[in-house]
Chains A and B, each alone.
Chain A
């Protein structure tokens, strides 16, 4: 029985390979977790904000300039993926120690023109503890002098402000914490919040007994400076999902080498939430522009979840880490995003295998659902599905039209591919035109995938009828959605990035599924009469 002998050998080999594929990744993962102390908490995704600033002017032939402050990366906030779409304007960006200024200029501007500037913000919540016994210093380095001086809007030496300060902080030589608490509580509780977008100086805020964020901040700064605590204004944005025009101001005071934030509109004492974005420091104006050009601006904020950057960076430092590979890939110009897609594809394929072999859904090809799902990461699942359906419909319709013309196969397929490309371009142009930028990314739907899909659909419709195509399209959509959910899971992405050896486990699962001879869920339905038996 030579056959059964070699069968036994094959079986032993199978079990050996399976064991290696299970034990090796688990072993390496355990080693990383317990010996190298990989931070598991770093795998939980955190929120980031995409901020899209759009500015518009109406020109009547004049030269137009727009000026604003762009956020800077510092220890609390990091600004990435900046994209400038200046239209007809020439851009100039300057940076000094504190602020980053951007200006856009154009000559002889006619009609409505705009500038778009977008970036991704990744910021932290920060809170300071001020020791109760900390005294207010008598002297500071000379560089802090500007933060102690009077300014046109911060009239710290005005007698009324001085009198009010004495009322709020009646003690001689108060402790730092005590003084700041009294000032903060007074501005937060006794001064009414007013939703007013205009300029209010410190004295006016005091006289009115009510103020918006900028009035309160100036008054805070005036009180602080009077007490010999350096203070500065901060201009920024509270990032919330949606579009807004309202910006925000708060104040920072200098305590033991730190600039500590206070917000007496939202009652943040020595703390600042993660969704506060700093634009500039100082008593400045966010937007300046040529007069009479009907200047309009909007901030569009989108909140997303992203894998934790620090955790990934920390991982790349440790030995025996594949994260070092990522640096290697990046050095030859392959971005980490592409690598992520690559690493997630096996998981997508595994999902497809489960749907096909265990549940029993038919799909267009084994890898197509995973590929479409990864293509949809730029457009989002919804628009990805829309794009996929568009391809299927266009392919089917064009095939019918061409069948009627009776053409040979290859030229027919070439025409179909061309039509699909034209439709994708049209969708992109339409997307840009109507401001649906996710839709505009449709062009990035890899064309090879489109070609395969189009040809498969056309062949299947010709051979097995439109109903079959509709059925398989529907089932493919289900599998694409499942693939998308798995492949776009930040947890799984971080997990695979940190522990790429887990891909061996995917092989192990496929090895097991490859020998699974159970009845598929859909087969239970197919053979239900046979299995349930006729009621006796």
Chain B
């Protein structure tokens, strides 16, 4: 009898927690389709357009050095890059961190990537022409962006020694709903992508404190490579981080967004916005985000 009662109580809990999970179908139907009009998708999917709109609204982002959209422009690549030794090459319409090369220095006539890999001018030309050709994008044809590399705030560098960590905040109707930071690991090869083996660390929206962490689907409390504790840390410039996310959310007509921010020593900079932010953030936070989303909706309606 007692066991049955226990079971029913447990079942009730399962039902409640399952009801709190934002599913893919619900996300698409109730949040993405109703809040983000299709014609505004390029604002998020194309980093060139996003940068233009967001920077005009006063959102701080990395400085664009150059963009390449045509093969004939590659002729001057050597001259163009001569004076830069610290930059990032990325496709304007890439996804999942694909097609990104991070350069941290020079070695003779060549460039050195963050992993220590050496790139010749030919390598970079080939990479950029692949980007222009659309190899890393959904559409045919794309632009390559060359922009300043963000150096991390020392606190973030301590948390994430193997690469640039980003802070993802889900914004719904201009309310921050859930947050995490994605920390590259040896497994993810420097990429801040959870599916490729980056560490997800949840951040409490109110305090900016890290609360839980997950690596390859398992809960952890220390960095698997450096051994450093991941929990109970405060993300630097947290009020400014939230402020930047809000400013970005208000600058675009997209009302359900994933905002990706990195924190440099002098404050947060926005990396990109995403119209189809993933659902894994719920696993990282250890709870479903539907209750908070519904509260955010109601908040939005009262305005």
Asked whether B21 lies within 8 Å of A519 as measured between CB atoms, the reply is: yes
Residue among A517, A518, A532 with most chain B CB within 10 A:
A517
A517: contacting residue among B29, B96, B136, CB under 8 A: B29
| Contact of B283 with A533 in the complex, beta carbons under 8 Å | no
Is A520 in the interface zone, CB < 8 Å from B? yes
Number of interface residues of B (CB under 8 A): 27
Give the complex CA separation of A357 and B25 in angstroms. 7
Asked if B282 and A527 sit within 8 Å, CB to CB, the answer is: yes
Residues in A whose Cβ lies below 8 Å from that of B135: 409, 459, 462
* Assembled-state Cα–Cα distance A46/B30 (Å): 48
Determine which of A463, A518, A530 lies in contact with B98 in the assembled complex, contact meaning CB atoms within 8 Å: A463
The majority secondary structure among interface residues of chain B is helix
Residues from chain B with Cβ under 8 Å of A360 in the complex: 24
Q: Which of A187-232 contact B (CB under 8 A)?
A: none
Nearest to B26 among chain A residues (CB) is A517
- Chain A interface size range: 20 to 34
Q: Does B133 contact A (CB under 8 A)?
A: yes
Of B21, B23, B130, B288, chain A has the most CB atoms within 10 Å of the CB of B23
**In the assembled complex, B186 has its CB within 8 A of some CB on chain A:** no
Across the interface, do A517 and B30 meet the contact criterion of CB distance under 8 Å?
Answer: yes
Q: Is B58 an interface residue (CB 8 A)?
A: no
Find the A residue at minimum CB distance from B27: A517
Are A530 and B287 in contact, CB atoms less than 8 angstroms apart?
Answer: yes
Query: How far is B130's CA from A364's CA once the two chains are assembled, in angstroms?
Result: 23
Q: Which B residues from 15 to 46 make CB contacts under 8 A with A?
A: 17-18, 21, 23-26, 29-30
CB-based A-B contact count at 8 angstroms: 64
> A409–B286 Cα gap in the complex (Å)?
42
B136 contacts across to A, CB distance below 8 A? 463
The reply to whether the CB of A5 lies closer than 8 angstroms to some CB of chain B is no
In whole angstroms, what is the CA distance A515 to B288 when docked? 21
Query: Once the chains bind, are A519 and B98 in contact (CB under 8 Å)?
Result: no
**Nearest B residue to A459, CB-CB:** B135
> Are A523 and B13 closer than 8 Å at their CB atoms?
no
- Interface flags, B278-290, vs A, CB<8A=1, else 0: 0100110011100
CA distance A410 to B282 in the complex (A): 40
Flag if B283 contacts A529 (CB, 8 Å): yes
Name the distance in Å between B106's Cβ and chain A's nearest Cβ: 23
B124-159 interface bits toward A, Cβ cutoff 8 Å, 1 = contact, 0 = none = 001001100111100000000000000000000000
Query: What is the bound-complex CA distance between A516 and B136, given in angstroms?
Result: 32
Decide yes or no whether B14 CB sits under 8 A from chain A: yes
Q: Please give me the residue from chain B that is nearest to A534 by CB atom.
A: B286
Chain A, range 410-444, C-beta contacts under 8 Å to B: 410
List, in ascending order, chain B residues with CB within 8 A of A357's CB: 25
A523 cross-chain contacts in B, Cβ below 8 A: 21, 23-24, 279
User: How far in angstroms is the closest Cβ of chain A from B87?
Assistant: 23
CB distance from B115 to the nearest CB of A (A): 17
* New A-B contacts (7) at CB < 8 Å, excluding given A360-B24, A515-B29, A530-B17: A463-B136, A518-B23, A527-B21, A529-B219, A530-B287, A530-B288, A531-B21
Interface residues of B (CB under 8 A from A): 13-14, 17-18, 21, 23-26, 29-30, 96, 98, 126, 129-130, 133-136, 219, 279, 282-283, 286-288
- Residues of A that sit less than 8 Å from B by CB: 357, 360, 406, 408-410, 459, 462-464, 515-520, 523-524, 526-527, 529-533
5 A-B contacts, Cβ less than 8 Å apart? A462-B135, A464-B96, A464-B98, A517-B26, A530-B286
